[in-house]
Structure 1
Amino acid sequence: MKAENIQDIYELSPAQQGILFHSLYTPDSGMYIAQRCFLLRGSLHLMAFQSAWQQVVDRHAALRTSFYWEKLDKALQVVHEEVKFPLAQYDWRALSSAERQKRLDAFLESDRNTGFDLSRPPLIRLSLIQLSEDTYQIVLSQHHLILDGWSSSLVLKEFVERYEALSCEQDNSLLPSRSYGEYIAWLQQQDLSKAEIFWRQLLSGIKAPTPLIKINSDTFSSQEDRYDEQSLRLSTETTAALQSMAQLHHLTLNTLVQGAWAVLLSRYSGELDVVYGNTVSGRPADLVGAESMVGMFINTLPIRVTVNPEQSVVSWLNQLQARLVEMRQYEYSPLVEVKRWSEMPK
């Protein structure tokens, strides 16, 4: 690391600390590698494509960040002044459709397994695969340490805007963005004593996590074992019905989904008082411009829900939504501290 190329240095957020720990503990798991694929049809202005991505990287500190932890009391993230954004190009035009699909499947798996060197920015890479004269497969991979889903959407939106402008030779300069370091500074100013009171009250009496299934320790003992994955896509009709219900009763879709998950946990565990992890945006309302900042903001915190069979569904969901709203002011809480404040085994 060259000192002359350093723009800023600051600590990690609590969520970043957890991600870094797990990334180092299981480096080959690919757990925190996010991969997106896009199919582009039409002519491609390659120079504008490359320049647009470089301008986005130049604008956002998170995209020029690396991480250092060895021989340090605390891990640190380093923002580099300049980082060249790499673009890997492949030409698969000579392959048949079946061969391209087979090659793509293998490429995506290899790309995920490659991972990232966390001490070398950028922790994001782009592959451009030409499938035909006017068809391209774009593979964008990133480490979750630097971007959450919200930020990824902001980055992609900005790239599209820059690409369109550069393609039309409208090279308007970009205004500097708010640095992720401002969020880290905000975190360090928060009063954890208020959060401690809230979490101790919320989790009072909870001494064990809510079980989803009973696991036979003889057949599920390795740390490398994982649960399987299953995807479910709701029909247009079901989605519309849920949206209509939420709107009618002034609920959010998030509340409906969380309510369904709480009921499922209650049914499977046989417990009416359940606790599960709730992923929150982590973007504080009192940090000006937080909604447009790029970085890793999300946090995962416990939520406690009492399933009352005697209560009406709408009344119960409104109660759950009120709890979710109340939790927003404590989204900055470090999960490791929340566990320490609880009555769970240490």
Structure 2
Amino acid sequence: MKTENIEDIYELTPIQKGILFHSLYAPEFGQYFFQTRFAIRGNLNSVAFEQAWQHVVSRHTILRSGFYWEDVDNPLQVVYKQVNLPLEQQDWRELDPVEQDKRLTAFLKCDRQQGFDLSQECQMRLTLFRCADQYYQFIWSRHFLIVDGWSAPRVLDEVVQFYEAFCQDQTLSLAPSIPFQIYIDWLQQQDLSKAEVFWRRVLQGVKAPTPLTYLYADDVGSLANPNEQYNDQQITLSEAKTAALQSLAKQHQLTLNTLIQGAWTILLSRYSGEKDVVYGCTVSGRPADLVGAESIVGMLVNTLPVRVKVNPEQSLLPWLKQLQAQLVEMRQYEYSPLVDVQGWSDVPRGMPLFESIVVFENLPVPPSLREGNRSIEVPNFTNLYKINYPLTVVIIPGSSLVLGINYDFSRIDVATINGILTHFEIILHCMVTHPEVPLKDLSILTQTEQRLALELEKEITFDFDFKETSPIDQNPVQVSVSK
């Protein structure tokens, strides 16, 4: 560690400690590794683009941080005064589009496998591929320790603003950034005793996670490449179906997030046969009483348990309102360290509190990423990441809602995931078309599955007659058995 280049040293947040532990425990799986990929159209000035990134890194302490965990009681993050973040560039204009796609896929895989040396000064990489004269693919790779999903758009927004200024030989003056340490200081001031009372009440009686064993394939085979343990599948709802969900939420003063979590709760209950389910959900971790929290760049997001009881006789809308009230109450304690929350439950040490999480990516999209009057155009971007849970539901809102699942394919096969996504879409459609019905009447089955279920029911329904001499009634008794 070069002490002359050190600006500051402080402890990690609880969520950072958990991420660091999992990253060091299983580095070969590329967990908590994020890649943001987006296309760029226009006459890109690569020199100004690299310069813009360098200025943004200089503004935010977390982007200049490495991590130190050896020979210390608690791991530390070290902020460096200066960090060099080079932009790697490759020219692919002579390659046809098919070959470009192959090489980009191979690069993304290799990039994930490379990972990061967490003790180094910067946990980010930038790679630019020129695919045509005015078309580029750009990859921003970083570790989840430094930037959460809420922070990423802010970083990109500042990059675009600085880029535009440099291209026009102008000086850009932005408001001073808020150091990540401000959030750490706020965390250390919170009263965990109040959080403990809340979580012990919420999790009382939970002794094991809602199992995903009913989703696991009997034999998914050995991993051909242990570095690629996770995969992604997704479907996109039509604009009409998305608008119907939004209308339902607005009409009944519900959030879209509540509808999604309600649908996932019902699916977990149906799959497991349990009426008391627990899953995880991500929260922004940006408290209202911390001035400037929404503008802090860093790892503030947290993952916490959601416990929901499913009464089949209860009507959908009142149940959803209860769920929403529960989620609002939980926000008061979203600073709670997950490791402590698990300790306050009855789940034994060494056993996870939940095996699936829901990530609702309702992220702010800065104007600079939407406006069409820029010298370069960023039409869309995609986040690729791996998180340390067997199954992660990722929801991306928009005019067409995206339902995605990141899953451990050493435990769950692709056919099962496709089935889950199909059932997810069906249950959301049923919630829109039958919002007043009891939970038990909401179907998750496709038409084919419904037909097979009816045929199976017919096969196991039978009638038979038998005669039995009874001292009370000498008449024959007819019995009909249905299952």
Partner Cα distance (2:221, 2:277) in 1: 25
TM-fit CA distance, 1:208: 1.1
Number of the residue aligned with 2:329: 326
Judged with a 3 Å threshold, the aligned counterparts in structure 2 of structure 1 residues 138 and 332 are, in CA distance, closer, same or farther, namely same
Number of the residue aligned with 2:445: none
Number of the residue aligned with 1:130: 130
Number of the residue aligned with 2:242: 239
Partner Cα distance (1:222, 1:299) in 2: 32
Partner Cα distance (1:214, 1:294) in 2: 39
Q: Alignment partner of 1:231: what SS? A: strand
Partner Cα distance (1:216, 1:102) in 2: 31
Number of the residue aligned with 1:303: 306
8 Å CA contact retained: 1:213, 1:268: no
Pairs within 5 Å for 1:71-150: 71-150=71-150
Task: Please tell me the residue identity of whatever aligns with 1:20.
Answer: L
Q: Determine if the alignment matches structure 1 residue 312 to structure 2 residue 315.
A: yes
Judged with a 3 Å threshold, the aligned counterparts in structure 2 of structure 1 residues 166 and 216 are, in CA distance, closer, same or farther, namely closer
TM-fit CA distance, 1:326: 0.3
Partner Cα distance (1:228, 1:89) in 2: 27
Q: Determine if the alignment matches structure 1 residue 273 to structure 2 residue 297.
A: no
8 Å CA contact retained: 1:59, 1:174: no
How high is the TM-score relative to the length of structure 1?
Answer: 0.95
Identity %: 60
TM-fit CA distance, 1:173: 3.2
Q: Deviations over 1:230-269 (max 9, x none)?
A: 2121111111111111111111111001000111111111
Q: Alignment partner of 1:345: what SS? A: coil
Deviates more, 1:15-24 or 1:98-107: 98-107
Q: Deviations over 1:264-286 (max 9, x none)?
A: 11111111111111111111111
Which segments of structure 1 move beyond 6 Å, counting only runs of 4 or more?
215-218, 220-225
Number of the residue aligned with 2:435: none
Q: Alignment partner of 1:232: what SS? A: strand
Q: Alignment partner of 2:116: what SS? A: coil
How high is the TM-score relative to the length of structure 2?
Answer: 0.69
TM-fit CA distance, 1:128: 1.0
Judged with a 3 Å threshold, the aligned counterparts in structure 2 of structure 1 residues 219 and 94 are, in CA distance, closer, same or farther, namely closer
- Give the root-mean-square deviation of aligned CA atoms: 1.9
Q: Determine if the alignment matches structure 1 residue 189 to structure 2 residue 189.
A: yes
Structure 2: runs of 5 or more not aligned:
350-483
Q: Alignment partner of 1:256: what SS? A: helix
Partner Cα distance (1:82, 1:286) in 2: 32
Judged with a 3 Å threshold, the aligned counterparts in structure 2 of structure 1 residues 273 and 227 are, in CA distance, closer, same or farther, namely farther
Q: Alignment partner of 1:198: what SS? A: helix
Partner Cα distance (1:108, 1:306) in 2: 41
Q: Determine if the alignment matches structure 1 residue 286 to structure 2 residue 262.
A: no
Deviates more, 1:182-191 or 1:90-99: 90-99
Q: Determine if the alignment matches structure 1 residue 28 to structure 2 residue 28.
A: yes
Q: 1:249 aligns with which of 240, 246, 252?
A: 252
TM-fit CA distance, 1:214: 3.2
Partner Cα distance (1:100, 1:276) in 2: 39
Q: Determine if the alignment matches structure 1 residue 258 to structure 2 residue 240.
A: no
Q: Alignment partner of 2:236: what SS? A: coil
Instruction: Indicate the structure (1 or 2) with the bigger Cα radius of gyration.
Output: 2
Q: Alignment partner of 1:117: what SS? A: coil
Q: Deviations over 1:13-59 (max 9, x none)?
A: 11111110111111121121111111112101222211111111000
Task: Please tell me the residue identity of whatever aligns with 2:302.
Answer: N
Q: Deviations over 1:182-214 (max 9, x none)?
A: 101111111110000000000011111111333
Length, aligned pairs only:
346
Q: Deviations over 1:66-95 (max 9, x none)?
A: 000011111000111111111101111221
Partner Cα distance (1:57, 1:228) in 2: 31
Q: Deviations over 1:280-299 (max 9, x none)?
A: 11111111100010000111
Q: Alignment partner of 1:230: what SS? A: strand
Partner Cα distance (2:230, 2:46) in 1: 41
Structure 1: runs of 5 or more not aligned:
none
